[in-house]
Chain A
Amino acid sequence: MPDKFDAIVVGAGAAGLAAAYKMAGEGLSVVVIERGDYPGAKNVMGGVLYRSAMEELIPEFWKEAPLQRPVVEQRFWLMDSQSAVTTSYKAQEWAREPYNCFTVFRGQFDQWFARKCAEAGAIIINETLVESCIVENGRVVGVRTNRPEGDLYANVVVLADGVNSMLSKQLGFHKEWEPRQVALAVMEELKLPSEVIEERFNLDPGMGATIEIYGDSTLGMVGTAFIYTNKEHISIGVGALLSQIRQRKVRPYELLEYLKSHPMVRPLIKNGKPVEYYAHLIPEGGYNAVPQLVGNGVVVVGDAAQLVNGIHREGSNLAVTSGRLAAEAIIRAHKMGAFTARELSTYEENLRNSFVMKDLKKYKNASHLLETNPQYLNEYIPFTNMALHEMLTVDGISKWQKQKTIKERVLQQRSLFSLGKDLYKAWKAVK
């Protein structure tokens, strides 16, 4: 193994592997360092991988990658304690090539993706923790690992070390995340026969569905619960801002069991046998939390750079795209033979011109709005359930009277003025 590479990638996740694949494909010498037993061993994702970002790298990857199910239906539930208002979109276009997105197991997908990187010429080193970047004369020149004589050198280091982002914090690119800048999510895989999953979720063989659940599923905290179908497993999880979980004194595993016992959820997962339990942080700081992305000899990609669009539960696509754009900038710098922040800044520029930063910018105030205005999840979702319950429960009371009751109950808690204001604020935050 050479002691100096064109690029070192820290972390074999979606962003790091995307960067490694692209660079290795262009003939750069690349080493990927992963702390798990294998790529994916430490990676946790609700489970949705988007096709378009991945296809920019590997055309028709779905023909060979280990995927679970193409997602043909996305459901949304506004949940109260005994009920839910539900909506969904289901599309046959999503059931055929080129597909929209897939559920995946990262433990399997990332191993495949890493093999693709190796085929392209990258070296993958597992079971190795990068403890720090080696900095000389104001530039990153390599990494220090936990192995004896474990220093490695490169022209550029790609920090794809995930949401905890310890390495760019060490470099001073950002401070420690605040508890309101991350969500804490817990999840389980429940094993069920594929026919049972297809029946319960009204799916054609092999096809998949996702459910995002708001409201009582997080006890009104800013966050979501989710249920995703895999081939023979259901992923079920719940996450909310760490600041609110702490404030509300919630034990995350109790919240997960509460969700699993909800009357809307219980029949879907009945007899599902738990096979694995996870916890993970999700970057939720959005646009305002994105740290310095580029330094001399170093770039930051994926979760480490807070690149998650929480409103649309998109993350893997932002990760893959950021990795690819970082790689393109490094390839360009390689041709120029210079690797300072100035040469590498095309990464940041291209990221800003891509959907990644544009989408983060569009929703930059949304999470904060929900956090500072708990009524959206805490009151309006119960109101919606109550209103439909009133109108749809037939009990001899006139609809005029029911409408009046609904209005009175809402106005007991909210003035018309504050309702109007909240509607306007919500529109402003997502427009």
Chain B
Amino acid sequence: MKSEPAINNKPLNIEVNLDDKLFLNRWKPDEDSHLAIIDPSVCAGKCPGKDCTVFCPAKVYEWRNGRMTIGYEGCLECGACRIACPHGNIRWRYPRGGYGVQFRLA
């Protein structure tokens, strides 16, 4: 019997301008972030993969100059980062009532 295959890892070779997508939505950003890194040293020292910078569907998290930046204004409020941060290092709340993304269709 053959061993189980790993997940298909073929490269997508797709270029996407995510800003074009996010620009479509209606936003009411709050003044303060509803997201925060609990311990920045964990991102820097214990998290080589920086998975949140990849799987976040709004690219809220970006690793720049040795620290994690959080573009909370474009957050789609899905909750994936809270659940999938390998270190449970994201303090996640909903934005205050009436703030954040406001969908018209879906």
* A residues whose Cβ falls under 8 Å from a Cβ of B: 35-38, 40-45, 47, 105-108, 126-129, 145-147, 163-164, 166, 176-179, 182, 184, 186-189, 219-221, 230, 233, 235, 242-258, 261, 274-281, 373-375, 378-379, 413-415, 417-418
Contact = CB atoms under 8 A, between A and B. Distances in A.
A178 B105 CA distance: 29
A277 B51 CA distance: 22
B106 to A, nearest CB: 5
A242 B82 CA distance: 11
Interface in B5-43: 5-10, 12, 14, 16, 18, 20-22, 24-25, 28
Given A179-B83, A378-B7, A378-B8, A275 B103 contact: no
Q: How large is the interface on B (under 10, 10 to 19, 20 to 34, 35 or more residues)?
A: 35 or more
Given A274-B21, A417-B1, 11 more contacts: A40-B106, A126-B97, A221-B7, A242-B83, A242-B84, A243-B84, A245-B84, A248-B8, A277-B76, A374-B5, A375-B4
A47 B105 CA distance: 10
The DSSP consensus for interface residues of chain A is mixed
B73 to A, nearest CB: 15
Contact of A43 (B14, B51, B100, B103): B103
B47 interface: no
Contact of A37 (B2, B12, B24, B98): B98
A184 B78 contact: yes
B12 A45 contact: no
Contacts, number: 179
The DSSP consensus for interface residues of chain B is loop
Contact of A277 (B6, B22, B97): B22
A182 B83 contact: yes
Contact of A166 (B2, B4, B94, B98): B94
A281 B16 contact: no
Contacts of A250: 12, 54-55
Of the listed residues B12, B22, B58, the one surrounded by the most CB atoms of chain A closer than 10 A to its CB is B12
10 contacts: A36-B98, A105-B106, A128-B98, A233-B105, A249-B49, A249-B54, A274-B24, A275-B105, A276-B104, A375-B5
A253 B21 contact: yes
A126 to B, nearest CB: 7
B104 A254 contact: no
Contact of B5 (A128, A186, A378): A378
A219 B83 CA distance: 22
A47 B4 contact: no
Contact of B1 (A47, A280, A415): A415
Contacts of B100: 42
Contacts of A40: 103, 106
Nearest to A242: B84
A245 B55 contact: yes
A276 B27 CA distance: 12
A145 B18 CA distance: 33
B2 A47 contact: no
A280 B5 contact: no
A254 B105 contact: no
Contacts of A163: 79
Contacts of B54: 246, 249-251
B84 A36 contact: no
Contact of B2 (A105, A127, A278, A418): A418
B97 A146 contact: yes
A105 B105 CA distance: 5
Contacts of B69: none
A330 to B, nearest CB: 24
Nearest to A128: B97
B96 interface: yes
B80 to A, nearest CB: 5
A126 B83 CA distance: 27
A248 B11 CA distance: 10
Contacts of A253: 16, 18, 21, 57, 59
Interface string B68-86: 0000000011111011101
A128 B82 CA distance: 22
Closest 8 CB pairs of A and B: A127-B98, A279-B57, A277-B21, A128-B97, A279-B76, A129-B97, A220-B8, A252-B57
A276 B24 contact: yes
